[in-house]
């Protein structure tokens, strides 16, 4: 604490900041210094004694000046004080008031010689010293300010309280030894003082003298045996000096005073972790997190450290336990649910994560990234109804964020509401014109949407736009080639795309099925059969099985074909013709 700033100077409260000289003013410094020197000389130089009449006139001018000073008309006050000064320049009170008025007018340089004169003319007035010290401090002349305080303490009785100001000045200059000596003088005068011990300890720490800092900490504990914060600070010092056992003992002493102190438990958790006591470290962490006194931001910082370590089975359980304790201790804090969502999402607990994110936005809906996580998890959970609902809620708050239009369109695409899907996707695509990667994602979905609307021209344009940007895009190579085969259009192009896909992914049953179906449409039944057999070896998907039956039928194996159709029907995801195929033992496409 800088006590010097709190000094009341002769019924005037001063709180001014020095204005730094700019580069253009530096050229006039010598002139200013000359004026200041001449002012100082005129203020303190021996002058003839004024007559009684001059004294009376000066006193009247001084009193008038005081009136204007009290009215805060400092310019007029200064004029009157200066007139009075020409008559009685050796008047200490007048010089003091001239200094104070100049300071109020932010003319600290002009004020200084008058303050010097006041001290010289009346060395027993503490207010004069205080003003002079302040002027030196305002001009960053800390050494001179310190000397003024030393003079004050030496010449004016009962001013020991200003030792604190002197110590502050020494600290501001990093004159630690002088500050320590001043603290000794303070304690001799006033006895042990808590703030002095704290300041002294800070000096020792700056000097990297941990031993003395620890000794000072023990003094603080001895004189303040019920102050938990001193035990905590002391434990930190012991830990820093590689004395973890003593640090633990100190914290246990603290907990005997306050058994539920979360900061002590948190430090004990860290110390036990350092010593390899995992179980005790986790126990202490849970005790700390159970307390609402440990602020939410501290808990979030710790949990973020856990998140950085995931996925890691060794820390996952304790991290999840801690995040649940955080929610329990802070049920109205959006941050608690948000960090829980982050942790659970990485741990693979997607539904829990999504639900906690929803609780977070219920308390504070202003965070774009949390809404983004919600719709992403909706998509990963394949909950298209939730994806539509939550993306629309997000769009009410962030209508210009293309990503929410993307998820909204994707949700409608899954729900087979293709008109709404392409409308949202087209709008989002326009918003993302400056982001080529995002535009590509929109075109992928638009290709599917327009195909379902049988707007094949726009569908093909969307797919071609993606391939122009990414020739090996799996989604487009698969869907585009498959849809072309269903339309019996551009089968050569469809074969080229499907062939490229299976060469890059020879063990993907969906891609093998697509290629087989293109070959089927090209009447290459042997090639189709070969790839479908490879696909069935990897997957028993109903569509693949049904296609396999279709190819078998084409090569004359009708009974085998019917058996495959029956298998496809059992799977429950076959085509609309499956019953008719089985019943009539004929191929329908």
Does position 44 have pLDDT exceeding 70, yes or no?
A: no
Residue at 128 is within a domain: yes
The tokens for 316 are 């996952």
Model confidence over 188-204: pLDDT tens digits?
Answer: 888 888 888 888 888 98
Bridge partners, 9 (sequence order): 12
Integer Cα distance of 111 and 118 in angstroms: 11
Residue at 3 is within a domain: yes
Residue at 143 is within a domain: yes
Find, among 138, 163, 147, 150, the residue nearest to 3 by Cα. 163
Following CA atoms 155, 160, 165, 167 in sequence, which dihedral angle do they give, to the nearest 10 degrees?
Answer: 100
| pLDDT value at residue 50 | 87
Domain containing residue 133: CATH number: 1.25.40.10
Positive or negative: CA dihedral 492, 494, 497, 502: negative
Q: Mean pLDDT, to the nearest integer, of 43-56?
A: 74
| pLDDT value at residue 466 | 98
Query: Contact at 8 Å (CB) between 356 and 340?
Result: yes
Residue labelled with tokens 């936005």: 361
Integer Cα distance of 368 and 373 in angstroms: 9
Model confidence over 246-290: pLDDT tens digits?
Answer: 999 999 999 999 999 999 999 999 999 999 999 999 999 999 999
Query: Contact at 8 Å (CB) between 14 and 134?
Result: yes
Q: By CB neighbour count within 10 A (0-12 exposed, 13-18 middle, 19+ buried), where does 226 fall?
A: exposed
Question: What percentage of the chain carries pLDDT values higher than 90?
Answer: 76
- How far is CA 90 from each of CA 118, 128, 168, 387, 569, rounded to the nearest angstrom? 8, 14, 32, 86, 115
Residue at 216 is within a domain: no
| pLDDT value at residue 400 | 96
The tokens for 95 are 């010089």
Bridge partners, 473 (sequence order): none
- pTM score, whole prediction: 0.71
- Among the ranges given (178-192, 372-386, 415-429, 544-558), the one the predictor scored with the smallest mean pLDDT: 178-192
For the chain, give the mean pLDDT. Answer: 89
Does position 39 have pLDDT exceeding 80, yes or no?
A: no
Residue at 25 is within a domain: no
Domain residues for the domain of 71 are 1-10+36-41+53-191
Residue at 119 is within a domain: yes
pLDDT band of residue 326 (cuts 50, 70, 90) is very high
| pLDDT value at residue 46 | 56
Model confidence over 57-88: pLDDT tens digits?
Answer: 999 999 999 999 999 999 999 999 999 999 99
Residue at 528 is within a domain: no
Bridge partners, 12 (sequence order): 9
Residue at 451 is within a domain: no
Model confidence over 119-143: pLDDT tens digits?
Answer: 999 999 999 999 999 999 988 899 9
Does position 33 have pLDDT exceeding 60, yes or no?
A: no
Does position 2 have pLDDT exceeding 50, yes or no?
A: no
Contacts of 91 (CB under 8 A, 6+ apart): 58, 62, 84, 85, 121
Q: Mean pLDDT, to the nearest integer, of 500-505?
A: 96
Measured between its terminal Cα atoms, the distance across the chain in Å is 88
| pLDDT value at residue 282 | 95
Question: What percentage of the chain carries pLDDT values higher than 70?
Answer: 92
Helix %, strand %, coil % of the chain (to 5): 75, 0, 25
Q: How many domains does the chain have?
A: 1
Positive or negative: CA dihedral 20, 24, 27, 32: negative
Model confidence over 154-167: pLDDT tens digits?
Answer: 999 998 999 999 99
Integer Cα distance of 289 and 319 in angstroms: 11
| pLDDT value at residue 223 | 86
Q: For helices 474-487 and 491-504, what crossing angle results, to 10°? A: 150
Integer Cα distance of 35 and 247 in angstroms: 62
Does position 408 have pLDDT exceeding 50, yes or no?
A: yes
Does position 38 have pLDDT exceeding 50, yes or no?
A: no
């Amino acid at each position: 604490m800088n006590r010097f700033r709190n000094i009341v100077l002769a019924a005037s409260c001063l709180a001014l900041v020095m204005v730094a000289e700019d580069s253009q003013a530096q050229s006039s410094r010598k002139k200013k210094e000359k004026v200041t020197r001449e002012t100082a000389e005129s203020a303190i130089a021996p002058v003839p004694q004024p007559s009684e009449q001059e004294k009376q006139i000066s006193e009247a001018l001084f009193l008038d000046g005081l009136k204007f000073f009290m009215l805060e008309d400092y310019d007029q006050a200064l004029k009157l004080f200066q007139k009075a000064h020409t008559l009685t320049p050796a008047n200490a009170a007048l010089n003091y008031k001239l200094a104070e008025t100049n300071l109020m007018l932010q003319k600290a340089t002009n004020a200084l010689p008058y303050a010097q004169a006041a001290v010289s003319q009346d060395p027993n007035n503490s207010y004069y010293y205080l003003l002079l010290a302040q002027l030196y401090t305002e001009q960053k002349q800390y050494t001179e300010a310190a000397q003024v305080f030393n003079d004050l303490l030496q010449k004016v009785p009962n001013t020991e309280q200003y030792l604190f100001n002197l110590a502050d000045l020494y600290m501001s200059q990093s004159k630690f030894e002088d500050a320590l000596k001043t603290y000794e003088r303070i304690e001799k005068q006033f006895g042990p003082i808590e703030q002095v011990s704290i300041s002294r300890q800070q000096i020792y720490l700056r000097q990297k003298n941990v031993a003395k800092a620890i000794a000072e900490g023990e003094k603080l504990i001895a004189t303040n045996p019920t102050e938990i914060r001193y035990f905590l600070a002391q434990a930190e010092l012991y830990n820093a000096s590689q004395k973890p056992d003593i640090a633990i003992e100190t914290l246990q002493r603290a907990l005997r005073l306050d058994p539920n102190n979360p900061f002590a438990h948190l430090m004990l958790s860290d110390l036990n972790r350092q010593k390899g006591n995992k179980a005790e470290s986790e126990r202490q962490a849970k005790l700390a997190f159970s307390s609402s006194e440990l602020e939410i931001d501290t808990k979030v910082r710790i949990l973020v450290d856990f998140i950085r370590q995931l996925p890691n089975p060794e820390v996952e359980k304790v991290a999840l336990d801690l995040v649940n304790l955080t929610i329990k201790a802070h049920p109205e804090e959006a941050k608690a649910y948000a960090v829980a969502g982050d942790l659970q999402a990485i741990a693979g607990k997607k539904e829990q994560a999504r639900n906690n994110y929803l609780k977070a936005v219920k308390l504070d809906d202003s965070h774009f990234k949390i809404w983004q996580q919600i719709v992403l998890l909706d998509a990963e959970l394949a909950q298209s109804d939730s994806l539509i609902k939550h993306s629309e809620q997000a769009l009410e708050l962030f209508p210009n964020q293309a990503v929410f239009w993307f998820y909204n369109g994707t949700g409608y695409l899954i729900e087979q509401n293709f008109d709404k899907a392409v409308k949202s996707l087209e709008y989002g695509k326009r918003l993302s014109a400056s982001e080529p990667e995002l535009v590509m994602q929109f075109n992928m979905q638009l290709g599917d949407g327009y195909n379902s609307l049988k707007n094949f021209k726009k569908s093909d344009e969307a797919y071609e736009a993606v391939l122009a940007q990414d020739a090996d895009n799996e989604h487009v190579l698969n869907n585009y080639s498959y849809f072309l085969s269903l339309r019996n259009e551009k089968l050569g192009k469809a074969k080229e795309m499907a062939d490229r896909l299976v060469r890059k992914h020879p063990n993907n049953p969906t891609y093998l099925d697509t290629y087989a179906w293109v070959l089927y449409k090209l009447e290459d039944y042997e090639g189709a059969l070969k790839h479908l057999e490879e696909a069935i070896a990897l997957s028993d998907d109903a569509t693949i099985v049904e296609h396999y039956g279709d190819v078998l039928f084409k090569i004359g194996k009708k009974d085998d074909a019917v058996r495959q159709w029956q298998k496809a029907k059992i799977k429950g995801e076959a085509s609309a013709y499956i019953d008719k195929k089985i019943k009539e033992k004929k191929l329908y496409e």
